[in-house]
Structure formats: C-alpha cells, structure tokens
Structure 1
Amino acid sequence: MTDAQTPRAATTATVAHTDPLRIWAGVPLRNSSFTGREILLSTLRQALDQQSKASVLPHALHGLGGVGKTQLAVEFAYRYADRYDVVWWIPAENQTLVLQSLRDLGRRLGTPETASLQQAARLVLDRLASSRLRWLLIYDNANDPDDVVNFIPSGGGHIILTSRNQTWSELWDPIKVDVFDRDESVELVCKRGSEVSSAEAEQLAIRLDDLPLALDQAAACQAATGMPISQYLIRLDEHIQALSPPEKPRSSRTTVAALVRLTLEQLRIKSPAASELLEMFAFLGAEPISRSLLHKGRDAPVSSALGAALRSQAGLNGAIQELKRYGIANFDAVRRIQVHRLFQLVLRDQIGAEALARSRENVHQVLASANPGYPEDEKTWDGHAEIGPHIVPAGLVDSDVAGARQVVIDQATYLRLIGDLDGSRRLAENAVDVWRKAENLTGLGADGELTLLAGHTLAIALRLLGFNERARALAEDIYQRMRNSSELGPDHDHTLAAAAGVPPNLRVAGLFREALEQDRASADRYRRKFDEDDPETLGAQNNVAVDLRMLSDFPAAYEIDKAAVHAWQQTVSENDNRLLFAQTNLARDLYGLGRYGEALALQQRILVPFRQQRGPRHQDVLLAERTLAMTLRKVGRYAEALTAAEQHHDDTVDRYGAEHEHSLAAAMTLANSLRAAGEVRRADALATDAVDRYQRVFGEDHPLTLSAAVNHAIVLRALGKRDRARQLDEDNYPRMRDTLGHQHGYVLCALNGLALDHALVGDRAGARELFDEALTVSRDFRGPRHPYTLACAVNAALAVADDDAEADLARLGQAVAGLAEVLGPEHPETRAAQQRSWAECDIEPPPT
C-alpha cells in the first residue's frame, strides 16, 4: 500500500497534529471482518502512551496461536494512523528479516547506505531515537528475543511487538490476547458465513472454543461450500474423533487440526491443484510468497495437479482464489499469498506421509526452479530476498534435489553481499556441517563440489566478520581440496576463485609477501586459461597490484594498473565502472610514487562519474574519496584536504562501523589531515583511538598497527611530547623492519621518525647516522626525486648543517630546491624546509 492509499478516513482516533503520514509500509491489508476487541485496542493505546512499548502475547502460558495478536496490531495501525508520521511493519520471525526491514526503513528515512545490515540497523535506531517524527514500529511474530531485543530504538516513539513467546512478558508489560468473548464469536461467524443464524453461530463458537482464527476459517469454508452449519459440525466432529481418542479430553489444537483436515478434504474434491498448493505451505516459511515465484516453478518436476496450475496463470490464480475462498490463505498488500503459521504447523502434522513427501518435493523443486542464481548481480536480489525466508523451513540444506542445494549457496552469497554477514555465516556453516557428512549424493561429502563451494562462501563470511584464523585455515583447506579434486582440479573456475580467496587472509595476517606469491600464481593460471585482457585475468592482476602496494612496490603496481586501464579503454566506455575502478587504482599508485599532482588530477577527473555510476557510499567510491583527501594534503591544499578527510571518515564509519579496516584507515587519513592543518590535539585524540582499535582488530605486531603508531608518533612530536614519540618509535621501528624489511616504505617512514627523535633531544650523531641510512635506502628504493627521499635529504642536511659549514648549507639548499621542483616553491613543506624545519614522513597504508 502506498502512502496515498493509507486509509486515513477510517480512523476513529486522531491527535491535533495534522501533518500527512509520510512513511507507511509493510502493514497487512485491513481485515474487513475485524470484530470486537475494543477494550484491547484501548488498553494497547494507553500502554503505548504511558510506556511507549507493548508486547502483544497470547493469554495462556502455553496458548495456541490464532487468538488474533497480529490482527489486533493491524487494526491498531489503521485505526490510529493519524497519530504517526511513520508506521513500519517488521516481520520478526528471524534476525535477517528484522535487519532487512530496518535497512529498507533507513532508505526511506535517508540514513546513509552501509555495507553491514547490523550497522544500517544501528543508524536507523539512532535516527528514530533522536528524531521528532512520530513513529510506530510493529515487530510481528518476534518469538526469539535474542533476534530482536538489540534492534529496538531506545526511545522517541511507539513499539508494538506480537509474539507467542511468554519471555517478552519479563521484558515489557504484556497485553494479553485471549480467545473471543462469545458475542464476538457469533458476530464474526455471522459476518463471514453464509445464511448462518445466531444460534448456529453460537454452536460453531462452542465447538471451536471461540478461537478467532478457527472461527474465521470455518465460517469462510462454510460459505465457500454452502454446507449447512449442522452438517459442517457433523463432519468436523468426525475429524475430531479420528484425531482424539474418546477417553482423552479434546484440545484446541485437535480442533484446529480437524478444521484443517476438513478444509483439505473439501479442496481435494473440488480443486486438487488448490489442495496441493496448500500442502506446500507445510514446508514454506511464514512470510508471504508471490504468484510470480510460484509460476517460476512451472517447468519443475512437481506433482501433476500442481504442475498444471503452475504452467497456467489462470490455473494458478484459480487455485489461489480457492484457498482464499476457503479462508485458509490470505493476500497481502502486494497480492502475495500467506497461510497462518498455526495452519502451517497443523498441515505438517496432518496431511499424511504420502502428501508430506509430495509437498516437500514440490517445495524443493519450485524453489530450485525459481532461484535466480547469479547473486553477484544486484538485479537478482529481489528474487533471492523472497526465497530466503523459506530456505530453513523447507529444509533445503537436507534436500535430495541438487538445484535446491544450490539455492542455499546462492542465498549465503546474497546475504553476504547485502551485508548480513552473520546470516551468511550461519547458513553456509549449516550447509558445510550437513554436506560433509552426506554420502552417495552428487556434489556432497567432504570433497564434493557443493560442499566445497559452501565452504568457500563460509570462509569469506568468516574473514569479513573478523574470525581471521578460522577463515584463513578454511580458505586454504577448501583451495587444496579443489586443487586436488579429480572432478575440479587446479584450473577449474571454482578452484581459481578459491585460490583468489586465500591471499586476502594472508594480507589480514600481515603476510604480504606470501599473499603476493599466491596471487601471482593465480594470475598465471588465469592467463593460461583466458586471454591476457580477459576480465577474469585483469581481476587476478588487480589482486597482484594490491599485494605490491602493501609491499610499497608502487612502480610494479603502476605498470599492472596502467595496463589494466589501457585494456578497459579498448573495450568499454569512459564511464564504465570497471575502467573507473582501474583508474582509481592507478591514482593510488601515482600517490605512492610521489606524483601527487598527477594522482589528484586523475582522481578528480573520474570521481564524479564514479559517484554517479556506483553511488556515493559504494566501497570503491569511498576508497577513491580517501585518495582524494590524501592527494589534496600532499599537494599542500590542507583546508580542502581536511574537509574531504572529515567527510570521508564520517561516511566510512557510517557504512562500516568504527572498527572496520576501511574506517581505521579513514581515521588515520583524518588524523594526518588534522595535524597538517594545525589541529594537533584533535589529531592526537583520533590517532590514539585508531591505534587502540588497530591493536584490537589486527594485533599489536601487524604492519597496519605499527604504521598507525608511526603516525601517532608524528602527532606527538608536533605536540612537544618527544619522550612518548621516541618510546613509540623505538618500540615500533625494529618490529616493522623485521616484518617488512629495511627497504619497505613504511619502515623508512618509521626510521625517519626515529632519527627525528634523536635530533630533537640533541643526539646529532645518532640522528645523522639514521638520517643517512634512510636517505640512502630511499634513493635506491623510492628514487631520488620522490618527495619522501627529498624530505630525508632535508633532514640529513639539517642534522649536520651549521652557520659555518658552507658545504652542508649547499647540501640543504639542493634538497630544498628539489622539493621546490617536485612540490612547488610555495608548497608548505618546501617553505618549512627553507626555514630549516624538520620534515615528517607520514603513512597512508592502502586497503588490504
């Protein structure tokens, strides 16, 4: 239902505020047969006004569903719509559904896009808690508090939660929903039934224990068949007696089961297609399912009556309409079909072994046929989103249908790509555990293709969740199994993808050289299998360039990325995402080479179309924004750099959270920009926090952690905290050198800082030795015209220069002249060198 379709005229209670309802989504269609419940509605409204939260629970501790909890919440939403600016219905059967719904709400509220659904939910909750909007969130069927309790705004609006789980009564004051009063039962049956008298309606109410769901369905079935109530009750009693021995008291669950059996009996006679469609809901989830998804199963090998209906839109519509006529199913606002959870549970218990096996097979075949595949393509995501809630209830992990097992792998990949990393992990982990133990099924077993694909998907999710050691071990195991497999082998597409999954774990572990070796081997295999300019080969070469940047080998990375840019320019338009991505990599290489002006010009030229193509919060765009901030600082435009760095930091933290690798790098870029702009105290606070977070995420000896500490030492020197800076450098430099080697760019930056520590305490001899070493290695490794080499030359000259040493002054003049030529005579670093100020060399580590 759109905002304009929200039924405002039907409301019976309003507030003075008359702003139009701006956001309304997900609320089921209003029940035209809604009966009674006036006291409950009033109680619910008062509870929300007093405490802002209410849990709508069944009255009995172990009561059945079907008492009308959801219907009460639906009626409240429509009746009191004018009280709210936002009404948002959240299916809360599991955490993934909650997260996806909150993400969608965030898009309507305009909160930033994020890479993590958890992060998106937090942004939405914070926005609601601090907003002046009048909002109502309805969490429907929130049966596991662990899935929902952390996704409740801290205040500011109203929350309704429906659940069968009495645990919620310990968290919030509950609104207990019991069965109907007898008058309400009679009213409902007379509304829904056909030519039913009040006396007959009362008889039916007595037999069905005044359970609202049962009364509604029974009255609809009676109306659909035209069966007199007296006959209907006789048939119902026959089913009750068949289900319950005479010596045992009849339970409400037995009555509902008899009701469903009677309805199914009628459907099997009048519409076999409708009965087989209904049976499917024994294995479908509680979320609605669309006609289009069912129609996609038209070519699936399903049972005959169902297959005939699926192949004909008219036949499928007819079967669905029959279910609605019999009151056993409903449509939602976008015409998706849904069967009440209680009916679904009863169906699984009562349809019989043969029908149960047929239903399970039908569901597996239809979902396999409807699977859009290709989860990397965003165009398939709507299809994967609709299939997702049915995967676990249908038991697809245990399916004998190969296509159904592929649905599981595709869903785990889809969940990872939309940011539900934990959902991806849980599903893939379940698949791996089950499939490894399976025997005599194609693709399963410890070395089966599907098992290995699920393991590969699991390894990626584990790495992104920060389970680094487990991810690394699993990724290497999966790769070796694929490589040694007689069915796959070293050059299979799956094996090549698994091989590419190993180096990221090595980079996270700080093993940059090992990652480079693995990526080079993968790139060689891609070149042998594909053309040099094939997209797969270019992607493998890009991974090699990532490793080279981590090792500060920017000349080699530059050659790879220049070739990639050239290859894409021959085949795609100038605004193609792949070309723009390759050009952003080239800009990073230019930055590393010290060609700051070229890097800035390239990044500025491509950033606008890149934003337009990818969106302002896409990972690749955010990385390009960071490069822009870095290069603005390096060309001396400090104010612009600081503005760009602050915006990039805010956007990155919004997207990833504060402890993601990209957010930590953004914090260091901002700290460097703050220091350059003279805001040293802010830089110190930010750098201190970033180093702490690096230590938690990567460990104390990781090169990224050590690099962050080197930057912090620079800030400390600017604050005059020389002892603390020297302590950091003396601790970090040898560890960095032992890990990366003495020629690495980060190590040279650390060495320059340590030399400055000696110089600032008057140890000119120690400083000269360290500066000379840094200068010599930098000339060999970076080249004599690199700005950092020239900075080392300035420092080396300053360490020996005095007013009487003409040769040393000449040496300083040459270094300053070099900076003027490379950076420009008015660059702040050039002017600082002219004034005999020490030159710092900060670090901007590339992303892993």
Structure 2
Amino acid sequence: MTDPRAATTLAAGRGTAGQEEALRIWEGVPLRNPAFTGREMLLLTLRQALDRKSKASVLPHALHGMGGVGKTQLAVEFAYRFAERYDVVWWIPAEHQTVVLQSLRELGRRLGTPETANLQQAASLVLDELTRSTQRWLLIYDNASNLDDLVKLIPSGGGHVILTSRNQTWSDVWDPIEVDVFDRPESIELVRKRSVDVTLEDAERLAERLGDLPLALDQAASCQAETGIPVPEYLAQLDEHMRALTAHDQQSESLSTIAALVRLSLERLRADAPPTAELLELFAFLGAEPISGGLLRRGRDADVSAALKSALRDETRLDRAIRKLNRYGLSKPDANSKIQVHRLFQFVLRDQLGEEAAERSRTNVHRVLASANPGYAKNAETWQTHAEIGPHIEPAGLVDSELLDARRVVLDQVRYLQLIGDLDGSRKLAESAYQSWSKVEGAPLLGPEGELTLLAGSQLAVSLRLSGFNERARTLADEVFARLRSSAAFGPDHEHTLNAATEVGPNLRVAGLFREALELDKDTVARTRRLFGDEDPDTLMALGNLAVNERMLNNFAGAHKIDAEAVQTWQQTVSENDIRLLFAQTNLARDLYGMGRYGEALALQRNVFPPFREQLGSHHPNVLLAARTLAITLRKVGRYSDALAVAEEHYRGTINRYGEDHEHSLAAAMTLANTLRVNDDLVRAKDFADNATSRYLRVFGADHPLTLAAMVNFAIVLRALDENDRARKLDERSQAQMIDRLGQTHGYTLCATSGLANDLAAAGESAEARRLSEAVLATSRGTRGPEHHYTLACAVNAALDLITVGEDTAGHAMLDQATAALAEVLGEEHPEVVGAREQHRIECDIEPPPT
C-alpha cells in the first residue's frame, strides 16, 4: 500500500492489519469519513451492479438537481469497505481532462506501461493494459462532467469502474445508481455524530428543516457544533437568511438551503475570523480540484486584501484558518492534506457574494496564482506547482484577467502542458488566450501586436505542429514571426523574434521546404551570434537547427563542420557526460553516417548512447533518435542481426511515445523495414514499408520528400520480392517528383534514380539501365565523393550493366575496382561486398534525418 494513512484506515475497515495483505496499488482515495451514515442498500446495489456489468454511474436523484446527496462519499466508503476485492484501487478526479490524463499516466507508471510523451497515448496504453490485465482493479472517476471527453478515457473491460457525476446524461451510457436524500433516521444519526450535545428532538428539527440533504446536514451540524449555537437559534438565523434569498432568487429548495447555510457560516466567519472568511471566498473563483496550503503560501507576497495577507504570511495563521473551514464543515482535507470545498458551496459562493466581496475575491485569486506561479516550465522541478495551478486557470478567468502577471500564468501553463505531453490541453488553452488577447484594444502587451498576444500565438503554433495541424501551424508561425520582425517594439534582433524564427524553420522543413528553412536559419544564426556571442547556448541551438537543414539538403559535410564546432565548444565548457554535449555528439554521428563514414559514426554513437540513455531514460525523444542512428549504423557496417534488435526496440519505444502517425514513428517503421529486408524477413519488411508509406502519404502528402523517400525504400522491398512492376511504378513516380522538388543532385534523387536503374535491369531493359547507372554514378562522384559507399554501390551497378550489354572486359575491370574500393570502406566480409563479388546489384535505401 502506498499511502500509510490509507493503510491504517483500511486495516480498520478490513480486519486486523496483520491478518490482511495490503493492496498492491492504492492511490488518491479521499480519507474515509468517520461520520459516514447509512446507505447500506446503496452500497449493496453498487456492488451488485459492478458484479453484473462492471461499470456503474452514481448520480443524484433527478429531483435534487445539482446534488449534495453524497455521491462521492458513497464511492469513498465503497472503496474502503470492499478494498479486499481488488489489487488496484485508483481514484481519478474527473472534472478536468488534463487531470484525468495525468492520473492515468501515473497509474501507467505504477503498472509498468511504457513511457510516452503524449498524454493521450499514455492513457491509451494504460487503458489497454487494464483491459488485458488479470489483476483485480477498481477505477473511480469522481465528478465526471463532459461525457464526450471522458468516455474514451475509461477501460472497455477487465475490472470495475465507478463514476460519480451531476450530469444525468451518464444514465444514457450506463444504468445509474441514484443517490437520494437521507431517510430521516440516517439524518438524525449524522447530526448526532457531528454534535453529541444535540437532542433527538433538535436533530429531527434540523433534518426536517434541511430536507434530509446530506451535504446540508453535515455542514449545518458541523457549524452548530463549532459555534455552540443552540439548534433553535441556529434554525432561526437560517430562516432569516432563507427569507432574504427567496425574496430575490428563484432556485431549487435544496440549492436555496445550501446558499443560506453558506451565507450564515460566512457571516459568522467575517465577524469572528476574517482571514478564514477571505480564504473561503477564494473558492468562489477557484476550480473544483483541491489546493494545497503550500501553493497558497507561495502567494504570500501577493498584494491581496489585508486579512488574507495576514494568513498567507504566517503559516500558523494559515493552518488555523484551514482547520476552521474544516470544523465549519465548509471544506475537507483530501488524502494529501489539500483543501477541497464542495462544488455546491463554490457555486453558491459565486452566486451569493456581493459585488464588492466578489471583486475582492477574484482579485485575490488572480494575485495569489500569479505570485505562486513558478514561471517558465522548462525546469521539471516546477511541474508539480504548474500541475496544481492548471485546473484553476479557467474557473479563475486568468485568460481575461486585468493583471498581466495572471495572463503570464496562462502562457507558462501552455508551455508546461506541451512539455508533459498534453498537446490537446496546451492547444486549447493557447487558442483561448490568443483569440481573446488579439481582440483587446488599448491595453499594454495585448491586442494583435501585443507582446503577450504574440507569445501566445507562437506557443499555439508549437502546439499545432506537435499535434499534427501542420498547415495551420506553419501559417500562424509565419504570421507571428512577421509581426515580431516588423514591430517597432521588437524588430528582427529581439529575443522574441529569434525564438519565433526557431519555430518557423521546423514548419518549413515539415512542409518539405528545406532550402527556405536553410536561408531563414542562416539569418537567425547570424543575428543570434551578434546578440549572444558564439558560445551562448541559444547560439549553439540556432547552429544545431542550421545543421538540421544541411542534413535535409544532403550537405552532410556542411552539417558535420557545424556540429563538430558545437561539440568542441561544449567540450571546453561542460563535463563529458553533460546532456548538451551528448546531444551534439549524436548529431555529429548523424553527419558521419550521411558522409558514409559508418564505422566512425557507430563508434561515436556507441560511446555516447549509454550515458545519454542513463541520464534521460530510454523513452526520451533525443534518446530515441539516438537509438535510431545506432540501428542504422549497425546495419550499414554489416551487423544485421544486432541492427534488427536495436531497430525493433526503437520502433516499439517510438510508437509507445508518439503513436503511429508522428514523423519519428514513421521513420522508425521505415528503419525497421530496411533492417528486416537485409535480414531476409521480406514479408514483415513489406508490411512495415507498405504501412509506413501509406501513413506518410496521409500525413505529409504525395509529393513531400519524406513520402518520396519512403516510396524508394518500399520499392526496394518489392524488388526483393520480385514484385518488379509495382516497384518500377513507385520509382518512376518518386524520381520524377524528387527531381522537381529537390533537384537532380540531391541524395534522395540519386537513390531514386539508382532504384529505377535496378528496375530497368530487372525488366531486361539493359541499355536504358546502363544509361541511368552511368548518369547517377557520375553525379554521385561529384556530390557524394568517389569513396562514398553509395558512389561505390553505383559503380558496382554500372559495371554489372556494362557486362549485361556485352562489354565484358570493361565491365569486369570496373567491377573488380569498385568491389575492392567497397571492401576498403565496408570490410571484406560485409554482405554487400560479398554480393558484389557474386555480381548482385546493390540497393541504395534512404534513412532521412529528423526534421
């Protein structure tokens, strides 16, 4: 059991602690309510419903509207009372989708499911694991609101699910268990548990007056016990507040009762304990998720109202105020000692606070959250605080706050959500901020050209690109960059402009506009150097982007020069296992691979990979990319079985992290296909290559260079299976489009042309095959160099074409020379060298570097 408080309580509920085995996983279940009363038939009904259908929705009886009937308390009691039935009990606050996703990912970590950068993907892995699992598990989704968002985040089977909600539409999904008000004996029992001095007659009067509504009874009894007001006097004061409410408001009787109770308690707190009253008022504009005293304390320097400030600046006073809220029955501590105010209390607070108090409370919330905000989310040490702030951003209205620092909380939350992999949440929040701030007139930092607006737009572009909305991401990134560059307040050399430029480049590369990205990044490097200097991390990052462009344009020598300088710079300033140096070295290994220096690339990558993986973990994006380079270089040096093991593991890790349609996942699939092919597993190679090519077509489009590269690789597999006609069609299409998109001399074009020559040779069109082989050989010598592996492969193929057309002497002489040179590069025992000696043609596959 992971929660010692839960362990103690469970032991009490399940028998002697020494006689019971602790649950393997128990997380998040609220503390057991020692005053829990009655509900025996409901507990039995809930148990029978789960045994029969495995899912149950706990809803308020339709007559009682918003609830307050004890849905959550019923679920809590069920978890404790029947804990021995389960190996896993996991409580999920379900009102906020990001919180649900984070909770499921944490469950995945406890279950040992693979790590993934995308929260939606992580949730899917957990749901699949639970569905397949033989463990006995119970998930409780508390206060589920949006059916459309949540229904896909619930396991399809395998265990038990309890869902509590005020939303009656859940009754259309699962048969509901309706929770009604107490029976009168239950009401009396609860009141007398809360206050032992209350007579049976007074308890019945209180129950009658409050309509047996559990939430109202619990709060009223707690308040009466805390204040010591006799029940008759308490009821008289309650009636006075009820009359004041009904004179102005038309609402349900149960809601009016709750409102009157809150007003009565708030009135007394304002008189007796102003800090506690102002603490309570905060919850009118906070979300439903619990909030910790620690987060409130982080806001102690905020310019808030005097009474609240006195509590925030004194830990003892704050603890005293929190305890008083608990004793008044207005809040309850959760399992992690956070403060939670019932949603109904929050609703009536928002509804009943006067204009002055509401404005004070709203301002206090904005200032506290702004002061507690840890700022830029790049440091993972701040993530716990960002996670706690997140559910309160929308209820507090921070997007439209008058306080600019509160709006900055929104920007930091967008970045945090990107970093933890909640791309959907990040995109929605950034969209809301960008749209709202763009419409503001006459406010500093806002409006279409305002700093915060443009920063929101830049972050929205990032979220859109990472979510696969490539066209809109590119359009927005271009728009924000253009505004910053032309702005009198910023201009082309401002940090914001240079940061925006780093987002334009990836969008250009994703669109296949490699040359345009190169020119932009050259300009960014020049400006960054002038602003920060040669050795600044931002300059080195800009240079890294420039090297990416050079690799995409097949200028691996140019990329190598840039990356070698970066490696040298980092070596002079950081330790040998610093992740920045290791990252630069993995880039250098990619350059060496592209230059055909496979042995050097493999040696460097094997040296770098273990410490890189040890520090960042196997599923970190940069480690996964390094694993792909390792698999490729192992294959190229002829270690095919070793390469396959690495490629298989890399593919699984990448799919688990990104899903199937991400650029890195598609590249991983194609790397695996290429590796399966050289290991003679042609059926699987075809499946992977075919699937990856289809996905490239859908995600990137038919004429994108990455799609065309996939076609070239797929054609190679098809030729190996003697599906020559289909291979030729692919090569003819890809070669023509590569010439148009990339030019005659680009490495991808040369590979496509080489493949087409192999198609022609297979079809017996020897003269045309010879023409293409000789042409691609001449171009490769001029661009790749005469000693490059692929140049020598072209020479072997050209020699075989000479022999085929009858020029045996020249052909054999050329073949012997090319084979000897190839042996110098790859080694005498390399499979391609052996194949060349046996007069087999060589294939030139493509392994595109990441964009």
Question: TM-score of the superposition, structure 2-length normalised?
Answer: 0.98
Contact 1:13 1:79 in 2 (8 A): no
1:174-213 aligned within 5 A: 174-213=176-215
Q: C-alpha distance in 2, partners of 1:224/1:618?
A: 53
- The question of 1:842 aligning with 2:845 is answered yes
What is aligned with 2:680?
678
Q: State the alpha-carbon separation in 1 of the partners of residues 350 and 823 from structure 2.
A: 80
Task: Check 1:734–1:247 CA distance in 2 against 1; reply closer, same or farther (3 A cut).
Answer: closer
Match runs of 1:513-662 below 5 Å? 513-662=515-664
- How many aligned positions are there? 846
Cα distance, 1:267–1:451 mapped onto 2, change above 3 Å: same
- Aligned-partner Cα distance in 1 for 2:252–2:108: 48
Q: How does 1:344-355 map to 2 (within 5 A)?
A: 344-355=346-357
State the SS of the aligned residue for 1:112.
Answer: coil
Residues 116-168 of structure 1 deviation map (CA, whole Å, 9 limit, x = unaligned):
00000000000000011110000001011012100111111000000000111
Change (3 A) 1:115 1:313: same
1:673-752 aligned at under 5 Å gives the runs: 673-752=675-754
Could you tell me how far apart the structure 1 residues matched to 2:250 and 2:271 are? Answer: 31
Per the TM alignment, residue 642 of structure 1 is displaced from its structure 2 partner at its CA by 0.8
After TM superposition, give the deviation of residue 491 of structure 1 in Å: 1.4
Q: 2:27 and 2:249 mapped to 1: Cα distance?
A: 50
Whether the 8 Å CA contact 1:3–1:23 is kept in 2: the answer is no
Structure 2 match to 1:429: 431
Match of 1:492 in 2: 494
CA change 1:832–1:380 in 2 (3 A) is: same
Distance 1:415 1:808 in 2: 61
Alpha-carbon separation, structure 2, partners of 1:483 and 1:407? 25
**Separation in 2, partners of 1:27, 1:366:** 28
1:129 pairs with 2:151: no
Judge conservation of contact 1:381–1:414 (CA < 8 Å) in 2: yes
Return the offset for 1:806.
Answer: 2.0
Deviates more, 1:45-54 or 1:481-490: 481-490
CA–CA distance in 1 between the matches of 2:467 and 2:819? 47
Deviations 1:696-731 (A, max 9, x none): 110111000010000000000000111111111111
Aligned with 1:107 (options 90, 109, 129): 109
Are the equivalent residues in 2 in contact too, given 1:555–1:589 (CA < 8 A)? yes
Shift of 1:467: 1.1
Partner deviation per Cα, 1:733-783 (whole Å, 9 max, x = no partner): 100111011111111000000001111111111011100111001001000
8 A Cα contact 2:11 2:20, kept in partner: no
Question: Once superposed, what is the RMSD of the aligned Cα atoms?
Answer: 1.5
Q: Could you tell me how far apart the structure 2 residues matched to 1:298 and 1:10 are? A: 39
Task: Give deviations 1:494-528, integer Å, cap 9, x for gaps.
Answer: 11101111011111111011011111111111011
CA distance in 2, matches of 1:368, 1:135: 39
Residue type at the aligned position of 1:834 = R
In the TM superposition, what is the alpha-carbon distance from 1:249 to its structure 2 partner? Answer: 9.3
Mapped partners of 2:574, 2:532: distance in 1: 18
Say which of 414, 417, 420 aligns to 1:415.
417
How far did 1:440 drift? 2.5
Q: CA offset at residue 10 of structure 1?
A: 2.9
> C-alpha separation between the residues in 2 aligned to 1:304 and 1:54?
47
**Cα deviations by residue, 1:327-371 (Å, 9 ceiling, x for unpaired):** 101111121111000000000111211000000000000000000
Structure 1 contact 182–210 (Cα < 8 Å) conserved: yes
Residue 63, structure 1, aligned to residue 65, structure 2: yes
Residue 89 of structure 1 aligns to a residue whose secondary structure is strand
Measure, in 1, the Cα distance between the counterparts of 2:562 and 2:14: 69
- 1: CA distance, partners of 2:91 / 2:109: 15
**Partner secondary structure for residue 784 of structure 1:** coil
Please say if residues 14 and 20 of structure 2, whose CA atoms lie closer than 8 Å, have aligned partners that are also in contact.
no
State which of 827, 831, 837 in structure 1 corresponds to 2:830.
Answer: 827
Residue number in structure 2 paired with 1:222: 224
Q: Are the counterparts in 2 of residues 472 and 502 from structure 1 also a CA contact under 8 Å?
A: yes
> Structure 1 residues 623 and 325, CA, compared in 2 at 3 Å: closer, same or farther?
same
**Given the superposition, is the C-alpha separation of residues 78 and 526 from structure 1 closer, same or farther in structure 2, using an over 3 Å criterion?**
same
Residue aligned with 2:802, SS:
coil
TM-score by length of 1: 0.98
- Cα deviation, 1:426-470, whole Å, max 9, x if unaligned, reads 101111111111122221111110011111110100111111111
Matches within 5 A, 1:90-169: 90-169=92-171
Deviation at 1:18? 7.0
Q: Is the 8 A contact 1:67 1:177 kept in 2?
A: yes
CA contact (8 A) 2:194 2:221 kept: yes
**Bigger shift: residues 244-253 or 180-189:** 244-253
Aligned residue number for residue 2 of structure 1: 2
CA separation in 2, counterparts of 1:763 and 1:331?
81
Of residues 21-30 and 62-71 in structure 1, the stretch that sits farther from structure 2 once superposed is 62-71
Determine the C-alpha separation between the residues in 2 that align with 1:249 and 1:311: 39
**Which residue, out of 391, 394, 409, partners 1:392?**
394
Report the Cα offset of residue 248 of structure 1: 7.8
Aligned amino acid, residue 228 of structure 1: P
Q: Is the 8 A contact 1:587 1:599 kept in 2?
A: yes
Question: Residue 802 of structure 2 contacts residue 810 of structure 2 at CA under 8 Å; is this kept in 1?
Answer: no
- Residue deviations 1:172-210, cap 9 Å, x none? 011000011111000000011251011101111111111
Alpha carbons of structure 1 residues 55 and 13: separation in structure 2 relative to 1, 3 Å = farther
Q: What residue number does 1:790 align with?
A: 792
| AA matched with 1:424 | S
CA contact (8 A) 1:3 1:21 kept: no
Matches within 5 A, 1:441-456: 441-456=443-458
Asked if 1:817 corresponds to 2:844, the answer is no
Whichever residue aligns with residue 829 of structure 1, its letter is E
For residue 824 of structure 1, what is the amino acid of its counterpart?
A: G
| C-alpha distance in structure 1 between counterparts of 2:266 and 2:334, whole Å | 22
Mark the runs of 5 or more structure 1 residues left unpaired by the alignment: none
* Alpha-carbon distance between aligned partners in 2 of 1:846 and 1:168, rounded to the nearest angstrom: 48
Measure the CA separation in 1 of the matches of 2:10 and 2:255.
Answer: 38
CA deviations 1:29-60 (Å, max 9, x no partner) are 11111100010001000100111000000011
1:194 to 1:400, Cα distance in 2 relative to 1, 3 A: farther
> Does the CA-based 8 Å contact 1:11-1:82 persist in structure 2?
no
Is the 2:598–2:636 Cα contact (8 Å) retained in structure 1? yes
* 2:511 aligns with one of 509, 512, 519: 509
Q: Distance in 2 between matches of 1:627 and 1:248?
A: 68
The one-character-per-residue Cα deviations of 1:196-246 (angstroms, maximum 9, x if unpaired) are 011101111111111101100000000110000000000000000011139
Percent sequence identity is 65
Change (3 A) 1:735 1:371: same
Separation in 2 of the partners of 1:208 and 1:40? 22
In 2, Cα distance between equivalents of 1:748 and 1:634: 18
Q: 1:250 to 1:459 in 2, by over 3 A?
A: closer
**1:628-665: CA deviation from partner (whole Å, max 9, x where unpaired):** 10011000011111111111101110110011110000
Unpaired runs of 5+ residues, structure 2, are: none
- The amino acid of 2:332's aligned partner reads N
Answer whether contact 1:194 1:222 (CA < 8 A) is retained. no
Aligned residue for 2:151, secondary structure, equals helix
Q: CA deviation at 1:582?
A: 0.2
**Structure 2 Cα separation of the partners of residues 592 and 131 of structure 1:** 44
- One-letter amino acid of the structure 2 residue matched with residue 827 of structure 1: H
